[in-house]
Amino acid sequence: MKITQENKIHYFIKDESNETWTSFNLESYMVIPQNNGKIKLKVIEQLRLFFATDIENYECGTFSIAFGRNDCHFSGFDNLTEFYKYMHSNRSICDFQSATKEDYLELREKAFRIFLEHRSADFSKLEIGSEFSV
């Protein structure tokens, strides 16, 4: 399939960050028109990030990403109205907001920066005699 103007990409952001943690989800979908007038939405990327903002005292983080260009991960909807209704009503992904490509890519870049700074547990803080709260 050759990508054309009809293959618009839709970007979504769910940001639940606050002063205690950085937490957001990003999802992008490409419209694939079908011969019958319906559409398929190809999942391009799904990114999840959660990190404590006070990493010195509360070390906690999660980072996951799923992506694909030529895989077969589709969401089946007949039209964009149905898709948008789903994005705003499904409990697991409620509160997603439509985003511009620029805002999406900016938050995505921030996710990778945070991940690279804090990519795993600091085992030096877990040595005998160090403080640890349960």
Tell me if 96 sits within 8 A of 15, measured CB to CB: no
Note the pLDDT of residue 4.
78
What is the rounded CA–CA span in Å between residue 28 and residue 47? 9
Distances (CA, A) of 74 to 40, 71, 97, 107, 126: 7, 9, 20, 24, 43
Name residue, tokens 């990778």: 112
Confidence (pTM): 0.78
The kind and range of the H/E element at 82 are: helix 80-87
Rg of the chain over Cα atoms, rounded to whole angstroms, equals 19
What is the rounded CA–CA span in Å between residue 83 and residue 99? 15
Q: Within the chain, which residues score under 50 in pLDDT? A: 134
Note the pLDDT of residue 40.
83
> Which residues face 39 on adjacent strands?
33, 77
